[in-house]
A = this chain, B = another copy of it.
Amino acid sequence: MNVEFINPFLETIITVMSTMAKTDATPGTPFLKQEKTAKGDVTGVIGLTGDQARGSLAITFTEEAILHIVSRVLGETILDVDDTVADCVGEITNVVTGGAKRILSEQGYTFDLAIPTTIVGKNHTITHKTIGRTICIPFKTAAGDFFVEVCFEEKPNLSAGVR
């Protein structure tokens, strides 16, 4: 996977957390996801397609991290992972990917976004069915951790993965 595809997501998530959630999110070192290391309680997933590549993005939050983040976004204390939290995670996923899409577009890579999906359930794992590699970027906040996973398949390799 082209490493150019990663930085726009890293950049945008920090901006979105700062502006939408007034939360400092500190990125750790990105790593190749070779097993299902990121377990979380709430995940936003979105698909991306384009002429040069296709991909998917997942943002996986621990319960304590997302309750803090959504409370900051909405300006009220949210104590449980409910429909409001699921909706907010879908929105965060949309905004992060939309921001990354704009940066990628300036770099000459055009993508369309699918509809975001939110998964809620204690301690679930995410696997991307890709012939490429999945990069995981861990983030720390004062309230807990979250993980951003990005995978892309560039078009020269795409035919093997499409049915």
Chain A residues proximal to chain B, CB less than 8 Å:
35-36, 43, 45-49, 54-56, 58, 83, 86-87, 90-91, 93-95, 98-99, 112-130, 151-153, 161-163
Bound state CA distance, A113 and B130, in angstroms? 12
Q: Are B115 and A153 in contact (CB under 8 A)?
A: yes
Contacts of A115 on B, CB cut-off 8 Å?
A: 47, 54-56, 128-130, 151-153, 161
A91-B129, A93-B129, A127-B86 known; A114-B54 Cβ under 8 A: yes
Question: Hey, which chain B residues are within 8 Å of A94, CB to CB?
Answer: 129, 161-163
**Contacts A45-B45, A47-B56 given; does A118 touch B126 at CB 8 Å:** yes
> Whole-angstrom distance between the alpha carbons of A129 and B45 in the complex?
10
Q: A87-B127, A93-B129, A124-B120 are in contact. Are A113 and B45 (CB under 8 A)?
A: no
A127 touching B117 by the CB < 8 A rule?
yes
A141 to chain B minimum Cβ distance, whole angstroms, is 22
- The answer to whether B54 touches A90 (Cβ under 8 A) is no
Q: In chain B, what residue has the closest Cβ to A111?
A: B49
**Is B55's CB under 8 angstroms from A119's CB?**
no
